[in-house]
Amino acid sequence: MRFAKGPVWRASRAAVKRRKVQTFVIGLVVTMSAMSAVLGLGLLEASRGPFEQAFGQQNGAHAVVAFDGAKATDQQLAATAHAAGVTGAAGPFEAAQVSMQMPHMGGPMQMTVVGRSQPGPGDVDRVRLWQGRWPSAPGEIVLDQPVGQVLPAPPGQDATTITGPGLPTFTIVGYAYSVSQTADAWVVPAQMAALHPDHLEMLYRFAHAGSDAQVKADVTAATGNLPTGTLTGFQSWHTTRAEMLAKLQSLLPMLIAFGVLAVAVAVLIVLNVVSGAVVSGYRDIGIYKTIGFTPRQVVRVYVATMAVPAVVGTVVGVPIGLVVGSPLLNKAFNGLGGQQQISPLVDAVCLLGVPLLVALAAYLPARRAAGMSAIAAISAGSAPRRGRGLKVQRKLAGSRLPRSVSMGLGLPFARPARSALTFAAVLLGVTTVVFANGLARTMSDTSAASDRIGAVAVDVGHDPAKSVNVAPAAMERAMRAVPGVDGVASQAGDMVGIAGMTSEVNVQYYGGDSAMMGWTIVKGHWLDGPNQIVAPARFLNRHHLAVGQTLTIESNGRTAKDVIVGEGITGGDGMFQADWSTFQQLAPGRQADGFEVHAAAGADRQALAAKLKALDPTWDVTVRDYGNPNAELEMFAAVITIVLSLVAALGVFNTVLLNTRERRRDIGMLKSVGMTPRQVVGMIVTSMGLLGLLGGIVGLPLGYGLHALIVSMIERAQGLDLAPSMIHVYSLPLLAWMFLAGVGIAVLGALVPARSAARSSIAEVLRSE
């Protein structure tokens, strides 16, 4: 209580009331910095264990185990839930491997369908139902899709029906996601009889599951009392984790880079703003000492003065960071299905760490000033110390530059430490702008090449379980005659064996005008002759292949020897494209499964699709809907860039505010000898423009280099070989624009306080002295 009523408290309260603008600016900067720190630390923390977070939220299964239902009863399987080491179990569920024709997905797909009455029975595998509802009657199905995935249509509509050979027709009523990958789709248990279940599924959690060996031992122990041969296979959560993290490896370097930039900007701005505010108060410190304040009391005054905006700014900024950051994390990690949340530990670190950082930033310069004599502190607060800065200013004064410009260029040298921190903040802002812009362009170009955006206008196909009125060959001839059709590529798919490979590979055969369908080739060329293969980089890198090598393809008891003539972008590590002659060689007599249609320039795709549908209604005609799979990540990068740029601009604003406060007497004298308000603004803006220009000079190559580093890490993580145009995305006009980004950030932050200083009257300034 003595402290609350003592001179320290009264002096700090008076300082807060007297410097309302400075207190507000510091509070605003701390708010933005706290928000930036939450975003940065949240990204870094989420990048450290994204799968583990999603797995924990769904209470994922350590083992997904398949059993032969003919050798054990449901009661025997349910009893395994009470085995030693088992901490949770769900099931048994009837399951079936079926072939289904997915909406707008080309050929049939093998799917594991499980009968399950609700998304989260028990404590294991709490499936997240993120759109629609759970099936409640036969004929309804829920598909396993990552959260945010582009969907064929809203659930429940007629367009979202699927079926397969000998299967009922299902209406898709919802989309859910299991991070444990326990199924591809779910139906009500009563529906399973029509799907002819071929195994039973149990889901287990174990007390110890730190390795695949432990999981295998746990499964063996839990199922040891079952009849021999009941256990047919299991999937460990470590396998699922490895597959998931392989998909995220391209994302994590980007998130880590943004996280580090956000934290660095937050720390630099706080140090710059708070230490600058203390230095600008050296004159007041001298006055405090002349009226009897001890050095310790002086330090306490300034720490207490900064504590008010620090606490308020942190309390306001952290929740804002949570509101902004949680949706961004969800968009960044939507492939995991779990609801990504910023850890409470991050909140606690920011709530405690930001005020402590402010206190430290105030304590160090205040302690240094408190050790000065009263006269030295007052003189230090009235004018910059003599040294190199004064020499630079004198040299600039003798130049032929306009006086307002030469004086403005010399201002940063008056407070080199403060200018250095401001420069660092602007530098990080420019680096972020360059890096984020380049990364967004690389991601967009890569997605456009992979998805062949703009090349295929219409997809034409049919359900293999149903007959068509017009045969494929006749359908192709008819489509070519339709006005607006510029090219037609026949297509068929199959699973084939490759000599020397242990697993089958998905091959897509192309004929006709396939070269028009937007294939991006990194090396070699597209299919232009018989017995040729084009393979994506992932496939080649996984199997250690290269352009020019020959593969022996095996299918239906027949073989074909094809040469790899090109490396493309489109496709995964288990597929490639082959020419139509290879298809005829391996499957003689089989016709096309579907077609890709290229439209003439200016053709209406919807009208064209209607004309193609009229040729034969038994064929499915779909307008290719090109979505941007990176739209959410690009928005994420844009939000982070805007936040960091605003924080950097606030740092410049504070620097100019402090500089004009320190030099108000000089500005008043300059105005008294004829300097116009416009020249005052020009002088102050020039001083910050110099820092912005330097920030652009240094930040441009830093952002460029960071982009090159992250892209190379993404290439290695995904097994990609990107085309040069996807890596070298910076054009000269774009580089020039981003070079000036630093100047823009500096000018934006300097303009308001500069105009305020220019409008102040000479009498008001001199009277305040």
DSSP string, 276-313: HHHHHTHHHHHHHHHTT--HHHHHHHHHHHHHHHHHHH
Counting residues of the chain whose pLDDT is more than 70, the rounded percentage is 76
Domain ranges of the chain: 1-51+248-382, 69-229, 385-452+629-769, 458-623
SS3 of residue 251 by DSSP: coil
| C-alpha to C-alpha distance for 669 and 485, rounded to whole angstroms | 77
Does residue 301 have a pLDDT over 80? no
Let me know if 756 is exposed, middle or buried by CB neighbors in 10 A (0-12, 13-18, 19+): middle
Mean local confidence (pLDDT), 643-657 = 69
pLDDT given for residue 273 in this prediction: 67
Percent above pLDDT 90 for the chain = 5
pLDDT band at residue 532, thresholds of 50, 70 and 90?
Answer: very high
On average, the pLDDT of the chain sits at 78
Strands 231-236 and 170-177: unpaired
Residue 158 binned pLDDT confidence (cut-offs 50, 70, 90): very low
Structure-model confidence comparison of residues 46 and 87, the more confident one: 87
> What is the predicted pLDDT for the residue at 106?
47
Question: Which DSSP helix (H) or strand (E) runs through 478?
Answer: helix 472-480
Which comes out higher in pLDDT, residue 120 or 204? 204
Confidence of residue 531 (pLDDT cuts 50, 70, 90): very high
pLDDT confidence band for 133 (50 / 70 / 90):
confident
Do 743 and 430 form a contact (C-beta atoms < 8 A)? no
* pLDDT 10s digits, 622-637: 887 665 655 666 676 6
Q: Read off the tokens for 343.
A: 């850890």
The mean pLDDT of 532-557, rounded to a whole number, is 86
More confident residue, 413 or 698: 698
Is residue 192 within 8 Å of residue 74, measured between CB atoms? Answer: no
399 phi/psi in degrees, rounded to 5: -80, 175
More confident residue, 275 or 389: 275
Q: Which of 72-76, 242-246, 416-420, 424-428 has the lowest mean pLDDT?
A: 242-246
Instruction: Please give the average per-residue pLDDT across 445-460, as a whole number.
Output: 81
Q: What is the DSSP string of 628-660?
A: -TTHHHHHHHHHHHHHHHHHHHHHHHHHHHHHH
Residue 406 confidence class, pLDDT cut points 50, 70, 90: confident
* Architecture of the structural domain at 458-623: Beta Barrel (2.40)
Given a cut of 60, whether residue 194 has pLDDT beyond it is yes
DSSP 125-175: ---EEEEE----STTEEEEE--TT---SS-TTSTTSEEB-TT---EEEEEE
Is the dihedral angle over the CA atoms 261, 263, 266, 268 positive or is it negative?
negative
Taking residues 432-447, report their average pLDDT: 80
Residue 2 banded pLDDT, cuts 50, 70, 90: very low
The pLDDT tens digits for 721-754 are 788 888 888 888 888 887 777 677 777 767 777 7
pLDDT per residue over 10-24, tens digit each?
A: 777 776 677 777 777
